Amino acid sequence: MARIEAVIFDLDGVLVDTEHVWDDARRELARERGVPWPEDASRAMMGMSSLEWSRYLHEVVGLPESPEEISAQVVWRLQEIYRRELPLFGGAVSAVERLAARCPLGLASSSNRELIDLVLELSDLAEYFKATVSSEEVPRGKPAPDVYLEAARRLGVAPNRCAAVEDSENGIRSAKAAGMRVLAIPNPVYPPADDALALADDVLASIGELTPERVEP
C-alpha cells in the first residue's frame, strides 16, 4: 500500500459529538409542524449533503417549507447550540494536533459550510486544516466518494495516499469508494452495519486512539 501523505477527517461523530444534535433539530422541526417522523429517517439521512437531506425532509418526511428554508432552519438551531457549548469529543484536539505534526490535514464533512467554519473557529482547530470541504460543494453526498476526492484534490495528494477518519456507515463507504485507507471510530448511537465496518482498514474505540502509528499501514 502507498505511503500515507495526508489525513482527512469527518466532522460530525468524529471531532464533535453531534449526530444526535442533528437528529434532535430535524425531529423538533417536524414535531412543530405536526409531521410524524418515519422510523428510518434518521439513519437514511446520515451522510447526506444539506441539499439532499433538506429535500428528503420536504419530499419524504413531508415538511411544508422548501428545502432551502428547511436547511436554514436546522442550521440556525445548530449554530445556537454550538455557540452555547460546542460538543467536542474528549481527545479530539490532541488527536488533530498529533496528526498535523505528521502530515497535512483535510476535512470532508456533510455539514453545511457555515457549521464547518463555526466548529473550527470555536474549537481553535482551523489552523490545522489545509483543506475543508462540505458535501454541499460537490455533486453527491456520502456514500458517494465526491467529498473525499475533492478534499484530496485540494490538498494536492492522491486519494490512495490519504487516510480517512470516519464514524458512520455512509462515511466509511464514501472514503473507501475514494480509494483511501479508512480508520473507523464506530458511532455508538448509529453504529455502522457489519458489512460497512468490514470495509475499514482499522477500527478504533475512540479518537484518543488515533495516532500516526495507526494511520500508517
Helix, strand, coil percentages, rounded to 5, for the chain: 50, 15, 35
Residues 6+ apart with CB under 8 A from 213: none
Per annotation, catalytic residue among 10, 17, 146, 167: 10
Per annotation, catalytic residue among 12, 17, 23, 167: 12
3 vs 104: CA distance, rounded Å: 13
SS3 category, 183:
strand
Clarify whether 194 is annotated catalytic. Answer: no
Residues 6+ apart with CB under 8 A from 102: 7, 212, 215
Cell of 134: 462540505
CA angle 29, 83, 28 (to 5 degrees): 10
Clarify whether 23 is annotated catalytic. Answer: no
What residues are labeled active site?
10, 12
